[in-house]
Structure 1
Amino acid sequence: MTRDIARPGATQEVHVTVETTIPEDGIALFHRLYEEAFGPLRTKAIARQVLHRSEFREEMIDPRVTKYVARTGDGEPIGVTTLTRHLETVPWISPDYFAARYPEHAARNAIYYAGFTLVAPSARQGAAFHAMIKSVVQVLVAERAAVGWDICSYNNTQLSFADSIRAVLDEQANVEVAVEDSQTYYAARFTEDGATKGG
C-alpha cells in the first residue's frame, strides 16, 4: 500500500509516500541510501547502529513497519523514516517497558516506535527530514499516541538530531518530550603486557 502526501512550498520539491512494503526490486536502492547514512556509525558508536542487510530487507518487506519515504519531484527516494506500533519488530527495545509506562496508550494500541530516520547526505540541507517527521507527527497526533525513539551519542553531539526532531515536534504539536533511559558503555585498556600488580 502506498499513499502520497504532498509537501508544497518547500525550497526543494519533496513529497512523502507512506508505504507498508518496499518491492524486492527497490530494496537495493534503499539499502544504498541506508548505508550512506548509517554506515559511518559502525566506527562512531559502541552499540551496533547498522542493520545487517538481511535485517534491513526484513524491515522493508514487513507490512507492520510503515515506511515514510521522502521523494524528489521525479520520484527518486532521498529519505526514509520507519514507524511501527508492533514493538516486537524492534529487537533492541523492551515492549514491556512501554506497556508499563503508558498503560492507557497500550490499551488503545497507541504506542509507537520510530526505528530509524535517514536522509541521503546530498539532501540533508533540504526539506526531506522535515517532511517525513511532519507526516509521522500527523499520525501520532491523530491517535494521541506515545512514541519512542533512540539516538546514539555521536548523532546527538555531532549532528544535533535530538534538537532537530524536537524543533519539528514543537512546531507541529503540543507534545511532552523526555529522556527515558540511557546506557553507558565502558572500555578498559590493559597496559602492562599481562602482568598483575602486587604479584
Structure 2
Amino acid sequence: MPTTTEETTLEDIELVDRLLRGVPGAFDSFYRRHRRLIYHCIRARADAVDADDLLHSFFERLIERDFHILKLWQRGTSLPIYLSRVIRNFVVDFHRAKRSREKTREALAGLALIDSPPAKEGTSLGASVRDEDITSHLELKQLRRLGLQAWAELESRDRYLVCSKLHRDMSNEAMAERLSLSEGALRTALSRAQARLLSGLRLTAPEYFPTRV
C-alpha cells in the first residue's frame, strides 16, 4: 500500500493504472485524491440532502462496473475535467430517475395513508426526527462508505459475487451459470466472498464490531 508521500507524487495516470491492475490500496488512494472534487461536482448540480448519497452511489457504481469509466479515460488528458463530465452525466441521470419516481408517488398519493404506520402514543405524524435517529443515519452512511472500501479490496470474482447477490439480487442459478460452477460450488464461493468482505470490514471499522468477551 502506498504511503501518503508516495500518493502525492503519483501522477493520475499511474494512480488509475494501479487501480485497474487491482494494486492493494489503490482504491483508497483514488478515493482520497478525488473524493473532494467529485463531491463538489455533485454538489454543484444536486441538493445538499442528496449529495452524500450520490457520492456513495457513484463509487458503488464505479466498483460494480469494474471501473469501466476509468478505462475509457484518454490518457494524457485532464482526469479532473474528465471526471467532472462523468459526474455531470451521472447527476443528470439521477435527476431524471428522481422525477420519474416523483411522478409515480404522485399517482399513488391516494394510497399513502394505507402504508403509513400508526403514530406512537404521545407523538404525532410529522414529529421531528429524534437525535438518536439522526445519529444512526450518520453511522449508517459511515459504515456504508467503509464497506465500499472493503469491497474494493476484494478480488474481482469476490466483488462480482457480492455485487450480484447483494446489489443485483441475482439468483444462485444465474451466477453459477455465469461462472461455470455447480450450485454447490457457487454457494461455497459466495459464502467465502461474504466472509472475506466481513473480515475486511472488521479490520477497517473495528469500532462497529466490538469483540465479545
Same fold per superposition (TM over 0.5): no
Higher strand share: 1
Determine which structure has more spread, i.e. the larger CA radius of gyration: 2
Query: TM-score of the superposition, structure 1-length normalised?
Result: 0.26
Query: TM-score of the superposition, structure 2-length normalised?
Result: 0.25
